[in-house]
Amino acid sequence: MDPGERPPSGVHRGPLGGSATARALRLAALFVLGAGAAEFCYRRWLLCRHRLPVEAAQRVFELYAIGESTMAGTPFRGLSPPELAGRALGGTLSGRRVVVRNLSKPGESILPQVSALERWLWGRARGVPGAVLIYSGSNDHGRPAAAPTWWLVKEALLERSLLSRALWDAGERRSLLPRVRSLFTYERHLRRAIERSLESGLVPVLSTVVSNASGVEPGLLAGSGSSTGRAGEMLAEGMALEARGRHREALRLYEGASSRRLGAYLLFRAGKCYEALGEPEPARRRFLQAIDYLAADNFNRATRYQNETIRGLAREYGVPLVDAVGLFEARSTSGRESALFVDGHHPSLLGHAILAEGFADALAARFGGAVERRLSRAPDPEQALAYPLADRLGARLYAGRWLLTASSRHLAPEERLSLAEERFREALRLAPEAFSARLGLAIAEAARRSAFLRDAGTLRWLGRMKVFYGSRFRVSPWELTVLLRRLRQAGVAEGSLRGVSAAHARTGGDHRGWAISSR
């Protein structure tokens, strides 16, 4: 173009030359090429990291597992259901050595777990036999609800990019990106897990999700709704009748009351009355209805809707199902399964063994084999495994602190506190000088005598002290002085406080080697 000439109308040259449209196209092409290169490099890295050597692939049976804290083995270090299932099978299946790849993480919902599975399965050799054990539901929401349009678009865009999915999941975990959880999204992600497993030549094994329905009451959190009104008065009257053994009268009160806020708690109390009257079937129905009510709480429990979704998907895809709910009901005493749990939804070691053997039976039936050892039949599973004392103690301290955490802000955490006290007393029988057990008992006593676990200021202070979750307390001498003063103000008996102080003096308040890291 000669000097002085102007470009045709609609064509604009920028500082890099060329029209604006051409520059935009070049930038778009560079972005697509860059994204493609990043995706390619990420997949190659996954392939190099996860793929088995040829020699090993000819000798192993790969047993993957995805799920939440229960599937990770919490609170029993080193004894997760997948690992126990491998032991039950004698460590071999289809003539190959079982290699467990447990991807489960405490606190995670099904979404990041499926994404982790997809990353592990990328480039997997389909000829290597294996299975995927799937147990997830307690960290998801069982409320039926349609997903928003933007979520459906997002899922479609992320469908084929492992890197983008990993980045989105990381953003969700750090609360930088919005998250959607409902029964619809739960089913959608379960389908992803099943289909990715099948595409990779693996057999998905689904399990229903259990929780301590009869041993831990539903949520009734301070500030989570309107005043309790007449229903609250009836609840107090009913609990007084229960305390005097007049369960039939209390039951009539509970079942005649109506309250949106207290609905789940009234159902639970009705279940306890049926239980006391020796009627396990109606008791069980009330406990499950209380969970389905989805009252606001400090933790989630899988609903019957979620478990029906799991059963339906197993039928639809023709894959093995472990009905853990049925297995636990069959092993419960008089309709009560609380002995199979250490807290609200983590099974005891016996419960872990029952779940693991359910998986082992499903694997043996599908691949040919036999369950060689049934830990669930041992009088004492911990003793049968020679489980170390430090880990036994850590499991009980973890469960006790979990229950204290679950009791925070709760208006009537009677069952939770009783179970926490039971766990801490079990810890003391194992280690009479356990400072964390004595402190846990003192905190439970304070919660019974005052608003120690309901007062917002006290809860913030306890949070700074790292009282919630974990297995043992780490308390400095100065912190102990302040804590003892607050416990005394809450009405804790002097004998209990002297026991805490003496245990701290003997142990330094730090039971080294007795901690577990998972939440």
For residue 304, the model assigns a pLDDT of: 94
What's the pLDDT band for 2 if we cut at 50, 70, 90?
low
Q: What is the CATH number of domain 229-292?
A: 1.25.40.10
Alpha-carbon distances of 416 from 71, 140, 212, 421, 503, rounded to whole Å: 23, 22, 11, 9, 24
> Rounded distance, CA 322 to CA 356, Å?
10
Across the range 382-386, mean pLDDT stands at: 94
pLDDT digits (tens, 9 = 90+) for 232-283: 788 889 999 999 999 999 999 999 887 778 899 999 999 999 999 999 999 9
Over residues 341-345, the mean pLDDT reads: 95
Cβ(228)–Cβ(262) under 8 Å?
A: yes
> Residue 440, Cα to own-chain centre: how many angstroms?
22
CB within 8 A of 1, min separation 6: which ones?
7
Does this model's pTM top 0.85? My answer is: yes
Residue 321: how many other CB atoms lie within 10 Å = 19
pLDDT digits (tens, 9 = 90+) for 455-501: 999 999 999 988 898 888 888 899 999 999 999 999 999 999 999 99
Q: What is the pLDDT of residue 225?
A: 52
pLDDT tens by residue, 114-168 = 999 988 898 787 888 999 999 999 998 767 777 788 888 888 888 778 788 778 7
Class level of CATH domain 54-139+187-211+323-382? alpha beta
Going from N- to C-terminal start, the domains of the chain cover: 12-50, 54-139+187-211+323-382, 229-292, 389-507
Helices marked H in 122-227 = 149-158, 162-173, 183-199
Q: If we measure between CA atoms, which residue out of 434, 337, 331 comes closest to residue 389?
A: 434
Look at residue 483 in the predicted model and tell me its pLDDT: 94
Residue with tokens 């469960």: 399
Same CATH fold assignment for domains 54-139+187-211+323-382 and 229-292: no
Per the CB < 8 A criterion, the answer to whether 266 and 257 are in contact is yes
How far apart CA 178 and CA 331 sit, in angstroms, is 41
